[in-house]
Chains A and B, each alone.
Chain A
Amino acid sequence: MPNNLYTFYTTENFLDDADFLRYVKYNRPVDVSFWNNWLSSSPENIKSFQEARLQLQILLSYPPVTVSDDFKMLLLQDINLSIDRHQNKRRKKVVRLFWGSGIAASLLVAAFALWFYQSTVVVRSDYAENQLVHLPDGSDVQLNANSTLTYRRAINWLSQRAVKLEGEAYFKVKHINVNQKQIKRGELFIVITKNARVQVLGTEFNVKERHNQTNITLVTGKIQVSATQSSKQYILKPGTFIEFGPNGRLSASAQTLNSSTAWLSGKIVVNQTSVNEILREFEDLYGYTVILDSPALGNKKIDGTISIKSEESLLFTLKNILNVEIKKEGKTIYLKNR
């Protein structure tokens, strides 16, 4: 111990000294003998030492408040109880959260599955707009203007691939039949229109459903067609078409392919076709009402190929062929003899 250092201590130094504090506070024999020893050497600053000791005595004079054992024990019990309660609450919360999120997740999955299974996809092409639709099963459908194709979102998971058509569309159905002698239901592709039902395996064909008539033209392969009204079935050969009205079959013939599928390349092929028919096509595709000056004009028959890529080009052609004047008012077009 640096005995001699203490000799230079002032009262403040003593008061700040931890060893001195312990000596005054606890009176431990080791400390007492040390300080007695130091005092016996009659240090010069004995007064500082004594003053510091007195001051500390007064500073430490506040009687200690004693904690009762009961207080200590009961408080500890309470603390442990509160901690237990807190932990239980948290555990319950975690468990609840776990189950809660599990249930929520399965509900979500179920809801999604239900929605996926139940919901339908509706693809609608506007006037003057063609649309190519890729079906989930790999088939492609080219929608003509002003047409609607509807199918179930889960088409791949259903027992049969079925689509509903209003308007006109060209189908390229993906062939998924493995064994030709054993055709499973799921391998069939079905197009349903107002008046007809087309059942195929994998072919290309055109279906046109307008004004209560359905015209089906087969391009390649083989298709089975039936009227909605009767159960009578027809087998179509490539290059032939069949037409259905509300009461069943209207006509069937070997039509030149071009006329049914010409729209794909933006044309219509007419062969002794009346102006009325052409104008109706125009109305269907572009959403106009065409009014003729004289009925005779509508009965005029035309041959040839007309571009329908744009309404302007079509109107321009009609104007020249029919020698008429064309007046457009909103969505109505007037054709007048010149």
Chain B
Amino acid sequence: MNNELTDFELWQNFLKGDRLALNEIYNRNLSPLYHYGMRMLQDEEVVRDCLHNLFVKLWINQKNLKPTNNIKYYLISALRNTIINYKNAEKRFQKVELNEAETFDLKFSVESEYIKKEEQQEKMLKLSEAMNKLTARQKEVIYLKYYEEMDYDQIAEIMDLTKKGTYKLSARALEALREVLNVDKAILLALLMAWKR
């Protein structure tokens, strides 16, 4: 029944205090939230805690929430804040030095599905290695853009960047990618040919 509701209607029901609507919101959005959380934290227990807090707080603060027609975007944004708060709290507790870099777990790999020959695979490994050297924020932008299909406005909002900054981060990431790719046009071509579907 609830499946037919749009994000906006579902959210309105939730705002009216409908617990089933909250459960529906959970069921529809848990998967992307979980992925995003795991990339930010790499620890399922902590991700679980953060998700738990996120949904409980969502219910408690019902009255202060605004209408939305993109629940996933809203929740990812909220989860990001929850995680950042968690990290800050942990830093305070454990007195971890700030030099511990922020991580966003997005590992690029070259599945053998695309590449048949050993030597090519080797080169592709180099390529993905280079990709993996992107900063956490660059990876996060790429993740939000290509995995969660958000536009630059939303990404900027979530990551607390200007839209221009988001473009830059993304462009720099793509630039890095292209640089690596341009190294060997032959491989690139081979890859392109090998790509099926």
List chain A positions with a Cβ less than 8 A from chain B: 11-12, 15, 18, 21-22, 25, 27, 32, 50-51, 53-65, 67, 71-72, 75-76, 78-80, 82-83, 86
Contact = CB atoms under 8 A, between A and B. Distances in A.
Interface in B105-126: 106-111, 114
Contacts of B151: 18
Contacts of B156: none
A61 B147 CA distance: 10
Contacts of B171: 12
Contact of A61 (B23, B56, B109): B109
A54 B188 contact: yes
A67 B26 CA distance: 13
Contacts of B31: 67
Contact of A55 (B55, B56, B114, B177): B177
19 contacts: A18-B151, A51-B178, A53-B192, A54-B181, A54-B188, A54-B191, A54-B195, A55-B177, A58-B108, A58-B127, A58-B131, A59-B142, A65-B35, A65-B38, A67-B30, A72-B27, A72-B30, A75-B51, A82-B56
B65 interface: no
From A51, A62, A64, A78, residue with most partner B Cβ within 10 Å:
A62
A58 B128 CA distance: 8
Contacts of A54: 181, 188, 191-192, 195
Interface string B159-194: 000000000000100100110010000001001100
B101 interface: no
Give the residue among A15, A18, A22, A58 with the most B Cβ atoms within 10 A. A58
A75 B35 contact: no
Interface string B7-40: 0000000000001001100110011001100100
B52 interface: yes
Given A18-B149, A55-B174, A86 B56 contact: yes
A79 B146 contact: no
A61 B35 CA distance: 14
